[in-house]
Amino acid sequence: MYVYSNKFLIKDEYQRLRENIRILYKQFRSPLLLIHNFSMIAATILGIIHGIVMGIEEEAAIFGWIAAISMIILSFSGFVIWFKLKPIWSNRESRKFIRFLHRQWLFSGIFCVFLFIHLIA
C-alpha cells in the first residue's frame, strides 16, 4: 500500500494521506515482519508434522510432501535473505534483487498447485 500511495497519490491534495500511510507503514512494518516469520516457521513445522503423522500410505501424500518441500525451500530462502543479505539492503538495486529472490515464483507456484492437489485428492 505504501508503494502504491507514492505511485498514485501524487496530487497536492493527497499529501496528508500519503504522509499518514507512510507513518503507519513504518510503525507496523517491523511487527508484521516478525508475525510473517513466526507464522511461516509454524506453518512449515506443522506441515512436516502433518506429513509424518499421516505417513505415506495415502495416494495424495506425495503431493503433500512436494508442497512441504517447496515450503521448506521458501522458508530457508527467507531466512538466508534475512540473516545473510540484510546488510546490503541499503542499496536500492540490491533490495530489488533480494525481493525478487524471495518471491521465487517457481517454488511458490509449486507449493500452491501441489497443496491444492493434496487437499482435493
Cell of 110: 509449486
Q: What is the DSSP string of 32-80?
A: HHHHHHHHHHHHHHHHHHHHHHHTT-STTHHHHHHHHHHHHHHHHHHHH
Tens of pLDDT along 9-33? 777 777 888 888 888 888 998 898 8
Task: Tell me the three cell numbers of residue 112.
Answer: 500452491
Q: What pLDDT is attached to residue 42?
A: 92
Q: pLDDT at position 109, please?
A: 83
Q: What is the pLDDT of residues 47-100, one digit of tens each?
A: 888 878 877 666 667 888 888 888 888 888 888 777 776 666 667 777 777 777
